[in-house]
Amino acid sequence: MTISRARASVSYPARFQLVAAMNPCPCGHHGDPEKHCSCSATERARYAVRISGPLLDRIDLVVNVPRLTVDELTRANVGEPSAAVRERVHLARTQMLERQGERNSLLAGAVLRAHTALNAGPENFARTAARQLGLTGRGYDRILRVARTIADLAGAADITEAHLAEAVAYRPRELATA
Ligand SMILES: [Zn+2]
């Protein structure tokens, strides 16, 4: 990690994974179908801008997690077992390391382009999405890396429009309007 200030630029050895959570608004109920949010639009906006755009632009995945109802909490667990997910992740990780020698999250520049080369259809899709969403260069690269990972988890050699669309859905966006 390199921190540049007016007088000096300092590099620190740092490679970390950030996982963070925040409420949708100060009272915590915005977007909840059952509980009333008592915050004004201004209060929500003021709360959301605490996470600055430049910081948000460095977060790969933003996932909205709604509150579970009592019914959902008490229903029998029908989800995929963790062991199966672990196996899929292990396989995807092995494949990506064999292909390129490092994790997708570390791909950059020409190496990223080489390992996320798109066929004509997906290429069109990605360009249109980038234009319509006004993605930054960093935002576009992130979509490619996330789509590559989604394809790897699906055991797919090529990145498809579906993989790109899922990656686009995870992109950080204005928290104030979420
Ligand atoms: Zn609220």
Residue 165 CA, ligand 1 centroid: distance in Å: 30
Q: Which of 170, 152, 151 is nearest to 161 (CA)?
A: 151
Rounded CA-CA distance 33/66 in Å is 9
Three-state DSSP class for residue 82:
helix
Range 63-71 average pLDDT? 85
Cα separation, 15 vs 102, in Å, equals 14
Average pLDDT over residues 50-67: 85
Q: Worst-scoring range by mean pLDDT, 11-15, 82-86, 98-102? A: 11-15
Q: What's the 61 CA to ligand 1 centre distance in angstroms? A: 23
What's the distance, CA 107 to chain centroid?
15
Q: What is the pLDDT of residue 30?
A: 92
User: Mind giving me the DSSP string for 6-74?
Assistant: SS-EEE------------SSSSS-TT-SSS-----HHHHHHHHTTS-HHHHTT-S-----PPPPHHHHH
CA–CA separation, 111 and 113 (whole Å)? 5
176 CA from centroid of ligand 1 (Å): 11
Distance 123 CA to ligand 1 centre (A): 40
Query: Which range is least confidently modeled, 21-30, 61-70, 156-165?
Result: 61-70
Q: 28-32: which pairs have CB atoms within 8 A and are 24 or more residues apart? A: 31/64, 31/66, 31/178, 32/66, 32/67
CATH number assigned to the domain covering 82-177:
1.10.8
The predicted pLDDT at position 71 comes to: 84
- Cα 26 to averaged position of ligand 1 atoms, centre (Å): 5
Query: Is residue 178 scored above 50 in pLDDT?
Result: no
User: Is residue 147 within 8 Å of residue 116, measured between CB atoms?
Assistant: yes
The protein residues having their C-beta less than 5 angstroms from ligand 1 (an ion) are 25, 27, 30, 37, 39
pLDDT digits (tens, 9 = 90+) for 96-133: 999 999 999 999 999 999 999 999 999 999 999 999 99
Segment 21-56, tens digit of pLDDT: 999 999 999 988 889 999 999 999 999 888 888 888
